[in-house]
Structure 1
Protein backbone atom coordinates (compact mmCIF):
# COMPACT_ATOMS: atom_id res chain seq x y z
CA UNK A 1 0.00 0.00 0.00
CA UNK A 2 1.35 3.45 -0.86
CA UNK A 3 2.61 5.65 1.93
CA UNK A 4 0.23 8.44 0.90
CA UNK A 5 -2.75 6.15 1.48
CA UNK A 6 -1.33 5.05 4.85
CA UNK A 7 -0.80 8.68 5.90
CA UNK A 8 -4.39 9.59 4.99
CA UNK A 9 -5.75 6.53 6.82
CA UNK A 10 -3.75 7.44 9.93
CA UNK A 11 -4.91 11.06 9.71
CA UNK A 12 -8.55 9.95 9.56
CA UNK A 13 -8.06 7.38 12.35
CA UNK A 14 -6.54 10.00 14.65
CA UNK A 15 -9.45 12.36 14.03
CA UNK A 16 -12.03 9.59 14.60
CA UNK A 17 -10.30 8.64 17.85
CA UNK A 18 -10.13 12.29 18.90
CA UNK A 19 -13.88 12.66 18.38
CA UNK A 20 -14.61 9.54 20.41
CA UNK A 21 -12.17 10.17 23.25
CA UNK A 22 -13.02 13.84 23.79
CA UNK A 23 -16.74 13.64 22.98
CA UNK A 24 -18.60 16.55 24.56
CA UNK A 25 -15.43 18.52 25.47
CA UNK A 26 -15.22 21.22 22.82
CA UNK A 27 -12.00 22.71 24.16
CA UNK A 28 -10.17 19.35 24.13
CA UNK A 29 -11.64 18.46 20.72
CA UNK A 30 -10.35 21.70 19.21
CA UNK A 31 -6.91 21.43 20.85
CA UNK A 32 -6.50 17.85 19.62
CA UNK A 33 -7.67 18.82 16.13
CA UNK A 34 -5.14 21.63 15.95
CA UNK A 35 -2.32 19.41 17.24
CA UNK A 36 -3.06 16.59 14.76
CA UNK A 37 -3.30 19.02 11.84
CA UNK A 38 -0.13 20.92 12.79
CA UNK A 39 1.90 17.71 13.19
CA UNK A 40 0.81 16.44 9.80
CA UNK A 41 1.40 19.86 8.23
CA UNK A 42 4.92 20.11 9.71
CA UNK A 43 5.92 16.79 8.08
CA UNK A 44 4.07 17.37 4.81
CA UNK A 45 7.25 17.61 2.70
CA UNK A 46 8.90 14.52 4.21
CA UNK A 47 10.16 12.27 1.44
CA UNK A 48 12.42 9.77 3.20
CA UNK A 49 10.69 6.34 3.29
CA UNK A 50 12.44 5.46 6.57
CA UNK A 51 11.32 8.70 8.23
CA UNK A 52 7.78 8.29 6.89
CA UNK A 53 7.69 4.77 8.35
CA UNK A 54 8.86 6.10 11.74
CA UNK A 55 6.26 8.86 11.69
CA UNK A 56 3.49 6.42 10.74
CA UNK A 57 4.52 4.17 13.64
CA UNK A 58 4.54 7.14 16.04
CA UNK A 59 1.11 8.28 14.84
CA UNK A 60 -0.42 4.82 15.17
CA UNK A 61 1.08 4.47 18.67
CA UNK A 62 -0.46 7.80 19.66
CA UNK A 63 -3.83 6.69 18.31
CA UNK A 64 -3.69 3.48 20.37
CA UNK A 65 -2.63 5.33 23.52
CA UNK A 66 -5.47 7.83 23.14
CA UNK A 67 -8.01 5.10 22.48
CA UNK A 68 -6.91 2.72 25.25
CA UNK A 69 -5.73 4.95 28.10
CA UNK A 70 -7.54 8.30 28.11
CA UNK A 71 -10.66 8.56 30.27
CA UNK A 72 -12.87 11.64 30.38
CA UNK A 73 -13.57 13.17 33.76
CA UNK A 74 -16.22 15.79 34.43
CA UNK A 75 -16.27 17.91 37.59
CA UNK A 76 -19.75 17.53 39.06
CA UNK A 77 -18.99 19.66 42.12
CA UNK A 78 -15.94 20.96 44.00
CA UNK A 79 -14.76 17.52 45.20
CA UNK A 80 -16.35 15.03 42.81
CA UNK A 81 -15.37 13.91 39.32
CA UNK A 82 -17.66 11.81 37.15
CA UNK A 83 -15.66 9.43 34.93
CA UNK A 84 -16.88 8.38 31.49
CA UNK A 85 -14.95 5.22 30.59
CA UNK A 86 -15.32 3.75 27.13
CA UNK A 87 -15.28 0.05 26.23
CA UNK A 88 -11.70 0.36 24.94
CA UNK A 89 -10.34 1.35 28.36
CA UNK A 90 -12.25 -1.17 30.43
CA UNK A 91 -10.20 -4.28 31.17
CA UNK A 92 -11.15 -7.59 32.75
CA UNK A 93 -10.35 -7.55 36.43
CA UNK A 94 -7.89 -10.22 37.50
CA UNK A 95 -8.67 -11.42 41.03
CA UNK A 96 -5.98 -10.95 43.65
CA UNK A 97 -4.21 -14.14 44.69
CA UNK A 98 -2.94 -14.28 48.30
CA UNK A 99 -0.84 -17.36 47.60
CA UNK A 100 1.00 -16.90 44.34
CA UNK A 101 2.84 -19.89 43.04
CA UNK A 102 6.41 -19.68 41.88
CA UNK A 103 7.08 -20.42 38.27
CA UNK A 104 9.47 -23.27 37.73
CA UNK A 105 11.98 -22.95 34.96
Structure 2
Protein backbone atom coordinates (compact mmCIF):
# COMPACT_ATOMS: atom_id res chain seq x y z
CA UNK A 1 0.00 0.00 0.00
CA UNK A 2 2.83 2.38 0.84
CA UNK A 3 4.45 1.77 -2.53
CA UNK A 4 1.20 2.64 -4.28
CA UNK A 5 0.89 5.89 -2.32
CA UNK A 6 4.47 6.86 -3.10
CA UNK A 7 3.96 6.00 -6.79
CA UNK A 8 0.82 8.15 -6.87
CA UNK A 9 2.74 10.99 -5.21
CA UNK A 10 5.49 10.64 -7.83
CA UNK A 11 2.96 10.74 -10.66
CA UNK A 12 1.29 13.85 -9.25
CA UNK A 13 4.68 15.48 -8.77
CA UNK A 14 5.52 14.72 -12.40
CA UNK A 15 2.28 16.35 -13.61
CA UNK A 16 3.04 19.35 -11.41
CA UNK A 17 6.45 19.66 -13.05
CA UNK A 18 4.85 19.53 -16.47
CA UNK A 19 2.45 22.26 -15.33
CA UNK A 20 5.40 24.58 -14.74
CA UNK A 21 5.60 24.98 -18.51
CA UNK A 22 2.15 26.58 -18.48
CA UNK A 23 3.28 29.16 -15.95
CA UNK A 24 6.20 30.15 -18.11
CA UNK A 25 4.21 30.20 -21.36
CA UNK A 26 0.88 31.57 -20.11
CA UNK A 27 -0.28 34.37 -22.41
CA UNK A 28 -2.02 36.30 -19.62
CA UNK A 29 -1.54 36.78 -15.92
CA UNK A 30 -4.84 35.01 -15.24
CA UNK A 31 -3.53 31.90 -17.00
CA UNK A 32 -0.42 32.02 -14.88
CA UNK A 33 -2.36 32.38 -11.64
CA UNK A 34 -4.67 29.50 -12.51
CA UNK A 35 -1.67 27.33 -13.38
CA UNK A 36 -0.09 28.30 -10.06
CA UNK A 37 -3.27 27.27 -8.25
CA UNK A 38 -3.17 23.94 -10.06
CA UNK A 39 0.45 23.45 -9.08
CA UNK A 40 -0.27 24.24 -5.46
CA UNK A 41 -3.15 21.75 -5.44
CA UNK A 42 -0.84 19.11 -6.88
CA UNK A 43 1.82 19.97 -4.33
CA UNK A 44 -0.68 19.65 -1.50
CA UNK A 45 -1.84 16.28 -2.80
CA UNK A 46 1.75 15.08 -3.12
CA UNK A 47 2.60 16.19 0.41
CA UNK A 48 -0.48 14.51 1.86
CA UNK A 49 0.27 11.25 0.04
CA UNK A 50 3.87 11.29 1.22
CA UNK A 51 2.74 12.05 4.78
CA UNK A 52 0.31 9.15 4.68
CA UNK A 53 2.81 6.74 3.16
CA UNK A 54 5.83 7.54 5.31
CA UNK A 55 4.25 8.65 8.57
CA UNK A 56 6.65 11.58 8.88
CA UNK A 57 5.27 14.10 11.33
CA UNK A 58 4.73 17.67 10.18
CA UNK A 59 4.35 17.06 6.46
CA UNK A 60 0.59 17.49 6.68
CA UNK A 61 1.18 20.83 8.45
CA UNK A 62 3.34 21.94 5.53
CA UNK A 63 0.53 20.96 3.14
CA UNK A 64 -1.91 23.02 5.18
CA UNK A 65 0.43 26.01 5.08
CA UNK A 66 0.74 25.66 1.31
CA UNK A 67 -3.05 25.59 1.00
CA UNK A 68 -3.37 28.81 3.00
CA UNK A 69 -0.68 30.53 0.93
CA UNK A 70 -2.33 29.45 -2.32
CA UNK A 71 -5.68 30.82 -1.17
CA UNK A 72 -4.13 34.16 -0.20
CA UNK A 73 -2.32 34.36 -3.54
CA UNK A 74 -5.58 33.87 -5.44
CA UNK A 75 -7.35 36.48 -3.31
CA UNK A 76 -4.51 38.95 -3.83
CA UNK A 77 -4.62 38.43 -7.58
CA UNK A 78 -8.39 38.94 -7.75
CA UNK A 79 -8.15 42.03 -5.55
CA UNK A 80 -5.42 43.48 -7.73
CA UNK A 81 -7.25 42.66 -10.97
CA UNK A 82 -10.52 44.14 -9.70
CA UNK A 83 -9.03 47.50 -8.72
CA UNK A 84 -9.45 50.12 -11.44
CA UNK A 85 -6.46 51.48 -13.22
CA UNK A 86 -5.57 55.05 -12.24
CA UNK A 87 -6.89 57.55 -14.75
CA UNK A 88 -4.01 59.76 -15.87
CA UNK A 89 -6.00 61.66 -18.49
CA UNK A 90 -7.16 64.28 -15.93
CA UNK A 91 -3.62 65.07 -14.80
CA UNK A 92 -2.43 65.29 -18.41
CA UNK A 93 -5.21 67.78 -19.26
CA UNK A 94 -4.39 69.93 -16.23
CA UNK A 95 -0.68 70.05 -17.07
CA UNK A 96 -1.39 70.98 -20.70
CA UNK A 97 -3.33 74.11 -19.70
TM bucket (normalised to shorter chain) is 0.3 to 0.5
Name the structure with the higher helix share.
2
Name the structure with the higher strand share.
1
Q: Could you say which structure has the larger radius of gyration?
A: 2
TM-score by length of 2: 0.35
Q: Which has the higher contact order (CA 8 A, sep 6+)?
A: 2
TM-score by length of 1: 0.33
